[in-house]
Amino acid sequence: MAVYNSQHPYMFLRSSKPRMLGVALGLLLMVPAALGADWGAPARALAEKIAAVTGPGAVAMEVTNRSSLKPAQVEQARGALVSEMGALGVQVVESGQAATVRVTFSENAQSYLWIAQVRQGTGDEKALMVAVPGAPPGGSFGPSSPLSIHRTLLWSQDAPILDATLLPGGNPEHLLVLDPGKVTLFSGQGGQWRQEQAFPIAHTRPWPRDLRGRIVFNREHLFDVYLPGVVCEAVLSSPLSMACHEADDPWPLGAGPSSVRAFFSPARNFFTGVVAPGIGKQNTFPPFYSAAGLPRNGYELWVLTAVDGSVHLVDGINDVVTKVPWGSDIAALKSGCGSGWQILASAKSGEGDSLRAYEMLDREPAPVGAATDFNGPVTALWSKNDGTAVVVGQNPDTGKYEAYSLDIGCHQ
Amino acid sequence: MRLIVWTLVVISSVLALACGGAAEVRPRYGGTLRIMLRQAPASLDPARLNASEEARIFSLIFEGLTGYDARGRLQAQLATRWQADSSFQRWQVWLRAGVKFQDGTPLTADAAAASLRAANPAWMVNTDGESVVIQTTAPDPELPAELALPRNGIVRHTGNKTVGTGAFLVSNWQPGRSLVLSANDDYWGGRPFLDSVAVTLGQSWRQQMVALELGKADVVEVAPDQARRAGLSGRTVVESASNELLALVFTREAQSEEEARVRQALAESIDRSSIVSVLLQGQGEASETILPNWMTGYAVLFGPTADRPANVQLPAAATMTLSYDGSDPANQLMAERIALNARDAGIRLQTIGSTSSADVRLLRITLASPQPQLALVSVAEAAGLPAPRFEGTSPEELYTREKKMLHSGRIIPLAHVPEATVLAPAVNGWRADLFGGYRLADVWLGSTP
CATH code for position B349: 3.10.105.10
Percent of chain A with pLDDT over 90: 42
Per-residue burial over A379-395, b if 16 or more Cβ lie within 10 Å, else e, is: bbbbbbbebbbbbbbbb
Q: B2, A67: Cβ pair inside 8 Å?
A: yes
pLDDT exceeds cutoff 70 at B6: no
Cα B165 from Cα B101, distance rounded (Å):
4
ipTM: 0.74
Nearest to B419 by CA among B17, B12, B73, B56: B56
CA A134, A405, A357 angle in degrees (round to 5)? 120
Question: How many CB pairs (< 8 A) connect A and B?
Answer: 148
From first to last of its 412 residues, chain A has per-residue pLDDT tens of: 444 433 333 333 333 333 332 333 333 333 333 334 478 889 999 999 999 998 898 899 999 888 888 888 888 899 999 999 999 999 988 766 678 999 999 988 878 899 999 988 777 889 999 988 764 333 222 222 333 688 889 999 999 999 999 988 777 889 999 999 999 999 988 778 999 999 999 998 899 999 999 999 888 899 999 999 999 999 988 889 999 999 999 999 876 555 789 999 999 999 999 998 888 888 999 999 999 988 887 788 899 999 988 999 998 888 888 888 888 999 998 877 767 788 999 988 777 888 988 887 666 787 877 788 888 899 999 998 888 899 999 998 898 999 999 887 664 3
**What pLDDT is attached to residue A322?**
85
Is residue B356 located within the same domain as residue B292?
yes
**What pLDDT is attached to residue B304?**
52
**What pLDDT is attached to residue B110?**
97
**Any chain B CB within 8 A of the CB of A3?**
yes
**What pLDDT is attached to residue A186?**
95
> Of the segments A14-23, B306-315, B393-402, which one has the largest average pLDDT value?
B393-402
Secondary structure (DSSP) of A88-111: TTEEEE-S--SEEEEEEEEE-SSE
Is residue B125 located within the same domain as residue B207?
no
Amino acid A154 reads: L
Give me the numbers of helices (H) and strands (E) for chain A, helices first please: 3, 30
B335-372, pLDDT tens digit by residue? 999 999 999 888 999 998 886 778 999 999 999 889 99
Q: Report chain B's mean pLDDT, rounded to a whole number.
A: 87
Q: B83, A129: Cβ pair inside 8 Å?
A: no
Asked whether residue B194 is assigned to any structural domain, the reply reads: yes
The model carries a pTM of 0.73
Q: B191, A208: Cβ pair inside 8 Å?
A: yes
Which residue(s) pair with A222 in the sheet?
A218
Bond preceding residue A172 cis, omega within 30 of 0:
yes
Asked whether residue B140 is assigned to any structural domain, the reply reads: yes
Q: Cα dist. B283→A165, A214, B229, B269, B276 in Å?
A: 47, 45, 11, 21, 6
Cα B324 from Cα B352, distance rounded (Å):
6
**Any chain B CB within 8 A of the CB of A348?**
yes
Name the residue range of residue B93's domain.
63-165
Decide: helix, strand or coil at residue B415: strand
- Which of B23, B141, B297 shows the shortest C-beta gap to A106? B297
Measured between its terminal Cα atoms, the distance across chain A in Å is 57
- In A108-191, at which residue ranges do the beta strands (DSSP E only) sit? 111-120, 126-133, 149-157, 163-167, 174-179, 182-189
Cα A361 from Cα B149, distance rounded (Å):
58
pLDDT exceeds cutoff 50 at B81: yes
Asked whether residue B407 is assigned to any structural domain, the reply reads: yes
Cα B409 from Cα B386, distance rounded (Å):
12
Q: Where are the domains of chain A?
A: 34-133, 149-408
Which residue(s) pair with B321 in the sheet?
B350
Is residue B349 located within the same domain as residue B395?
yes
Q: A3, B82: Cβ pair inside 8 Å?
A: yes
Cα A344 from Cα A380, distance rounded (Å):
12
**What pLDDT is attached to residue B425?**
92
Nearest to A11 by CA among A408, A400, A406, A350: A400
**Any chain A CB within 8 A of the CB of B295?**
yes
Is residue B38 located within the same domain as residue B146?
no
**What pLDDT is attached to residue B8?**
38
Is residue B288 located within the same domain as residue B149?
no
**Any chain B CB within 8 A of the CB of A309?**
yes
Q: B98, A206: Cβ pair inside 8 Å?
A: yes
Contacts of B195 in chain A (CB under 8 A): none
Q: Which residue has the higher pLDDT, B4 or B163?
A: B163
Nearest to A342 by CA among A303, A287, A316: A303
Q: A128, B396: Cβ pair inside 8 Å?
A: yes
Is residue B255 located within the same domain as residue B356?
yes
Measured between its terminal Cα atoms, the distance across chain B in Å is 31
Is residue B32 located within the same domain as residue B70?
no
- Which of A68, A115, A307 shows the shortest C-beta gap to B298? A115
pLDDT exceeds cutoff 50 at B2: no
Architecture in CATH for domain A34-133: 3-Layer(aba) Sandwich (3.40)
Which residue(s) pair with A330 in the sheet?
A345
Q: A206, B4: Cβ pair inside 8 Å?
A: no
pLDDT exceeds cutoff 90 at B302: no
**What pLDDT is attached to residue A257?**
53
- B382 dihedral zone (left: phi>0; alpha: psi -120 to 50; beta): alpha
| Contact (CB, 8 A) for A301 and A375 | no
Taking each helix axis from N to C end, the angle separating B224-232 and B205-213, rounded to the nearest 10 degrees, works out to 20
Asked whether residue B67 is assigned to any structural domain, the reply reads: yes
Contacts of A134 in chain B (CB under 8 A): none
- Which of B98, B399, B441 shows the shortest C-beta gap to A127? B399
**What pLDDT is attached to residue B17?**
31
Cα B373 from Cα B388, distance rounded (Å):
9
Nearest to B177 by CA among B62, B281, B41: B41
How many CB atoms are closer than 10 A to CB A165? 26
**What pLDDT is attached to residue A17?**
33
- Which of A64, A106, A397 shows the shortest C-beta gap to B1? A397
Nearest to A117 by CA among A130, A127, A107: A127
**What pLDDT is attached to residue A362?**
65
**What pLDDT is attached to residue B73?**
86
Cα A111 from Cα A108, distance rounded (Å):
6
Q: A112, B25: Cβ pair inside 8 Å?
A: no
Q: A209, B442: Cβ pair inside 8 Å?
A: yes
Architecture in CATH for domain A149-408: 7 Propeller (2.130)
**Any chain A CB within 8 A of the CB of B297?**
yes
Is residue B262 located within the same domain as residue B304?
yes
Asked whether residue B226 is assigned to any structural domain, the reply reads: no
How many CB atoms are closer than 10 A to CB B411? 23
A258-275, pLDDT tens digit by residue? 578 999 999 999 999 999
Is residue B107 located within the same domain as residue B118?
yes
**What pLDDT is attached to residue A258?**
55
| Contact (CB, 8 A) for A281 and A272 | no
Smallest CA–CA distance, residue A397 to chain B, in Å, is: 7
Q: Which of A32-36, B29-33, B75-79, B341-345 has the lowest mean pLDDT?
A: A32-36
Nearest to A234 by CA among A268, A196, A272: A196
Is residue B254 located within the same domain as residue B399?
yes
Strands A99-107 and A57-65: parallel
Asked whether residue B223 is assigned to any structural domain, the reply reads: no
Is residue B118 located within the same domain as residue B39?
no
B92-112, pLDDT tens digit by residue? 999 999 999 999 999 999 999
Q: Which of A36-40, B10-14, B418-422 has the lowest mean pLDDT?
A: B10-14
Contacts of A207 in chain B (CB under 8 A): 190
Is residue B189 located within the same domain as residue B285?
no
List the CATH number of the domain containing B146: 3.40.190.10
Provide φ and ψ at B195, rounded to 5°: -80, -35
pLDDT band at B13 (very low <50, low <70, confident <90, very high): very low
**What pLDDT is attached to residue A26?**
33
**What total number of domains does chain B contain?**
3
